[in-house]
């Protein structure tokens, strides 16, 4: 298996967060506190997602906020409300087999895009733990932001 690398072009705060997460083995960084101007600090659970690059075949790592859905996890492909999907989402469309680290626990999972009532329920849950997602949807130029369920395997 190729070595997993931090995804290119991530903002510095995401690089720093991932470095802290990895250096601590997941004991530091699982809960991420965001300081937002004019708003109270917000603490959100985060996981590390590894995907296989759809063009390069390289394994890439992305820090993402997550929620729980039964025994599964879910993440939001918001890209901050950009009009296009994030690269990690395009990677999982090409190859849904992913690795995740949640705190100190590492596992393999299969990613799938939630639809219908499941998507609506998980989207509301996501906006509950990270309210800026609602703003991202408004500024996304009409793109429905995908909700991605990560179903652990094995």
Pair of tokens at residue 154: 């094995």
Q: Which of 74, 63, 58 is nearest to 12 (CA)?
A: 63
pLDDT digits 0-9 by tens, 91-136? 999 999 999 999 999 999 999 999 999 999 999 999 999 999 999 9
Cα-Cα-Cα-Cα torsion 5, 72, 17, 81, nearest 10 degrees, comes to 90
Instruction: HSE, CB side, 13 Å, CA atoms: give it for residue 15.
Output: 8
**pLDDT of 154 higher than 80:** no
User: What Å distances lie between residue 91 and 26, 87, 88, 124, CA to CA?
Assistant: 24, 6, 5, 25
Under the banding of pLDDT at 50, 70 and 90, the label for residue 2 is: low
- CATH number for the domain spanning 21: value is 2.30.110.10
- With residue 95 as reference, give the H or E element that holds it: none
Q: How many domains does the chain have?
A: 1
Pair of tokens at residue 132: 């800026």
- Looking at residue 1, what is its pLDDT? 41
The pairing of strands 31-34 and 97-102 is unpaired
Q: Is the CB of residue 150 less than 8 Å from the CB of residue 75?
A: yes
Under the banding of pLDDT at 50, 70 and 90, the label for residue 3 is: confident
pLDDT digits 0-9 by tens, 25-61? 999 989 999 888 888 899 999 999 999 999 999 999 9
Task: Please state the separation of Cα 27 from the chain's center in Å.
Answer: 18
Which residues form the domain of 38? 4-153
pTM of the model: 0.93
Task: Please state the separation of Cα 53 from the chain's center in Å.
Answer: 15
């Amino acid at each position: 298996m190729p070595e997993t690398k931090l995804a290119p072009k991530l903002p510095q705060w995401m690089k720093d967060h991932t470095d802290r997460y990895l250096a601590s083995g997941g004991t530091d960084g699982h809960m991420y506190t965001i300081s937002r101007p004019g708003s109270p600090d917000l603490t959100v659970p985060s996981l590390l997602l590894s995907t296989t690059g759809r063009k390069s075949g390289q394994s890439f790592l992305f820090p993402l906020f997550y929620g729980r859905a039964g025994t599964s996890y879910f993440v939001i492909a918001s890209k901050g409300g950009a009009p296009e999907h994030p690269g990690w989402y395009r990677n999982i469309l090409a190859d849904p087999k992913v690795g995740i680290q949640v705190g100190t626990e590492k596992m393999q999972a299969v990613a799938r895009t939630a639809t219908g009532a499941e998507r609506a329920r998980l989207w509301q849950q996501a906006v509950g733990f990270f309210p800026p997602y609602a703003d991202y949807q408004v500024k996304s130029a009409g793109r429905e932001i995908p909700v991605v369920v990560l179903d652990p395997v094995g």
